[in-house]
Structure 1
């Protein structure tokens, strides 16, 4: 029988304490819904009474039908020499309308005497009284022993007294916090084992990642007997962050055989990670374990050849188990296996014995030597392969473009781009303004093509990067432009290289549109819906 590990998510509270992370009430509602769908057991919504946003969240979430998760309010024990029933912070937990509350209390004697400025005995009273009060109000009560591992190492007898005070008061869970994130897995394992010998209440673990071993600390704690894990999506949180549940869940479930969520829910892992990152306006590292864009990407020819025979040779799990996918990169390191895998993905029948295939590999290596980078611009690579195989129609081509920029002492800089583009037998000549030369060029190209290909209006640019390839060239250096575009939830990247940043941008912009038209199945320019519209575009 699988051993159950309960998941407690604190992205909406502890996660927002991370630098650069800010979530609106609507953001928090959206994330809570996805966490519930994923199978999280407890969702910590915030600290009622600490700020209006958290109170607004608890009011809104009452109207949201959750299928599984229990919304939890966070707070602290009552203040020194104040009865729990009279403590404003504890009463705010009750008034939030939740069915579960998590309160932290001091378990390190130094914090009691130096931070709280009270006695060890009074701290025990505060813990017991607070837990007892919340239980009397019908709440599932979790006691979070703050700085527990540091406290246990400094004074194990007192740290245990704090836990016992919470247990005797009726706590449903006791959670051991590595608040400073300084403990190591061996310490965590030994201390959790020792604690369990003296307590009957189930234990949780709440580690921070200041030493870079938070995930390892969770695995050690669970193997020692902890049955709840508290962390955040993508490991966001104060300082170096909380433990990353995105890494914890598959390690527990796929590697150690614990049950956290259903296999169907586990397949949502990658989507959940990217969804939260998008809402939090953060960029996920490509090499993030399990869910990163590069987590199952293979570049070296020998690696790819082996993976095509048996994925186990270079993959520790099947990517589909956590909703990710295998990617084969084609670069200057590419061999025939890389190219074969990419062509199979695109449905291109091009024998590797043919001269065209060898020529493609040669071209890729030459172009990467010039500064192109196709592992980060797979849409441009796809177009190159389709073109070589004769599967790509040339739906438009550039005749010319001009860019006018004007700056005066009293006015902001303005940009205007004029383009001439061949579409079928016609030459479309139009112009558009923009916030800068690249934006103006993008707007003009769209204006020229949208009448023929309306799907372009749905596409938008999501990222634009410029990399100087030869710093010795100063302002005349060759640059590489990478553009990321999106349409209907799908993203793709294209590349351009030139000593002129505008020309490199044009190349990447044109590829982004060509890729969209291929994805949309456009074979030729669509009939114009109105002759007046066409005349307006051509004569602008």
Structure 2
């Protein structure tokens, strides 16, 4: 039980909108993306990235398609300052990419920030100061007028320094820190004052970034706040309205989506949600959510595994295996019912033009993920998952009743061994259960077919001479029937093995692995002639008849049918 009553926490009063518009809107285009991985994300790490890792991350962000990247807080440390200089002096910044740097609203910090940007082609200078009541009153001891004055004086200084450095195109970004806890009227007042001080025009826009520095309310409240600002800001046509949602309540992605519907143009965040406390908004999830709705996000995540491994290397933090879209297990089904539905969905998908597979909102192939890991098998799995892996990994398309039978063998294995079974584990069990069925004394050696012409009014007769090894003794037995399998069944009767064939299927395999190189696969469902439970036998061979005979012997051994003492004249 929680130690404190809920009344300890003050309820957040949302902005009042009488005719909100965002609930009726849908997202039909991607926002402007800005990555904070190298700044906000980096400052949250146990061990901040060194220069080599920062450069690797920066290059990857450019390759993904980010055109705006916040690279450092250059006035905060020499390391950050030097990194900005490295990017500029060593030519790491593509012509179509704009770097962004952060500074507090302090004159000496702003001047130091401009020193770091000398020689840049284009740069966003991001200045901020806190505006919420608890910061004004408790942290800084300033009234509203002093807070506005601090912001506008900083903007005028930035404007002056930008004019003194005409070789660089400067863009101003202003953030009223802790916007979501700031009175809406005061947030509007300070943003309008900053916009005026900068002299924003449609050709010289200002970026107004409205951060959920600490997420304090439900996503719809953030959307209301953004829509209220969107509709009340002066010079709206001269403003790029930006979002910076944090994830304290675990709803940053939802908040960003709703706020984009409410009129925002731009989103700041980190690839996998790194950042202070619970992190910034997760840009991968946000972008791929758009993608699943038919909106091109403008970011390339077609090799998501490479992105994930690079981020893990640079941040030295693992990505959760259930992280949306990229986690190692998000395209993995252990549940038997899920596996069966996915397997059927994949089969039906071949006939569709739009993606519609149960339990899978996105095609893993679009992200460079392999179908090999879509279905995995453990003690909770069913026949669908087993069948899927056997088909995709080894080309074995099992009849439905064989799926049921083999899944029971898999269940016994997982119950006794624990953990999950990989595709090679499944193949080893399938091989030992069917292809190398526990021998009760009968082994296939060879066979030779012969035919008797059909007599008048009678069926064509197929004969077989079957070479076997029975209890260590080589035998040659013969039988006749209406086909090779029927003839082989009669041949086995001569050594006392009485068996019925309940069903027979043969299929070609499309396996490419060494352990399943055969091109023909035969499945025979057998039962003892005197009655009893059925068992499947399976045979693989380049020749379909040989595969069928092997399947017959496999089924005989799995039924545990014991040969009688063979007559001496049958010995080879």
4+ residue runs of structure 1 moved beyond 6 angstroms?
Answer: 386-391
Correspondence for 1:159: 187
Which structure has the greater CA radius of gyration?
2
How is 1:304-453 mapped onto 2 (pairs within 5 angstroms)? 304-311=339-346, 312-326=357-371, 327-349=374-396, 351-352=398-399, 360-374=406-420, 380-381=425-426, 384=429
Encode CA deviations 1:9-63: one digit per residue, 9 max, x unaligned: 1111111232535211111110011111111121111110211221221122122
Correspondence for 2:335: 300
- In the TM superposition, residue 92 of structure 1 has moved relative to its aligned partner by 1.8
How is 1:137-286 mapped onto 2 (pairs within 5 angstroms)? 137=162, 138-151=169-182, 155-170=183-198, 172-199=206-233, 200=236, 201-255=239-293, 258-261=295-298, 265-286=300-321
Encode CA deviations 1:486-521: one digit per residue, 9 max, x unaligned: xxxxxxxxxxxxxxxxxxxxxxxxxxxxxxxxxxxx
Correspondence for 2:111: 91
- In the TM superposition, residue 232 of structure 1 has moved relative to its aligned partner by 0.9
- In the TM superposition, residue 91 of structure 1 has moved relative to its aligned partner by 1.2
3-state SS of paired residue (1:229): strand
Partners in 2 of 1:205 and 1:316 — Cα distance? Answer: 26
Correspondence for 2:105: 77
Correspondence for 1:499: none
Count of aligned pairs between the two proteins: 375
- In the TM superposition, residue 4 of structure 1 has moved relative to its aligned partner by 4.0
Partners in 2 of 1:350 and 1:223 — Cα distance? Answer: 47
- In the TM superposition, residue 117 of structure 1 has moved relative to its aligned partner by 2.6
8 Å contact from structure 2 (residues 74, 116) kept in 1: yes
- In the TM superposition, residue 385 of structure 1 has moved relative to its aligned partner by 5.3
Residues 266-275 or 187-196, more deviating:
266-275
- In the TM superposition, residue 363 of structure 1 has moved relative to its aligned partner by 3.8
Partners in 1 of 2:216 and 2:42 — Cα distance? Answer: 21
Partners in 2 of 1:336 and 1:38 — Cα distance? Answer: 39
Aligned-CA RMSD value? 2.6
Q: TM-score, normalised by structure 1?
A: 0.64
3-state SS of paired residue (1:194): helix
Partners in 1 of 2:295 and 2:125 — Cα distance? Answer: 26
How is 1:15-94 mapped onto 2 (pairs within 5 angstroms)? 15-62=41-88, 63=90, 64-66=92-94, 68-78=96-106, 87-94=107-114
Structure 1 gap segments, 5+ residues each: 79-86, 392-540
Residues 379/72 of structure 1: CA separation in 2 closer, same or farther (3 Å cut): farther
Residues 320/44 of structure 1: CA separation in 2 closer, same or farther (3 Å cut): same
8 Å contact from structure 2 (residues 67, 97) kept in 1: yes
- In the TM superposition, residue 342 of structure 1 has moved relative to its aligned partner by 0.6
- In the TM superposition, residue 354 of structure 1 has moved relative to its aligned partner by 8.9
Q: TM-score, normalised by structure 2?
A: 0.61
2:124 is matched with which residue: 97, 100, 109? 100
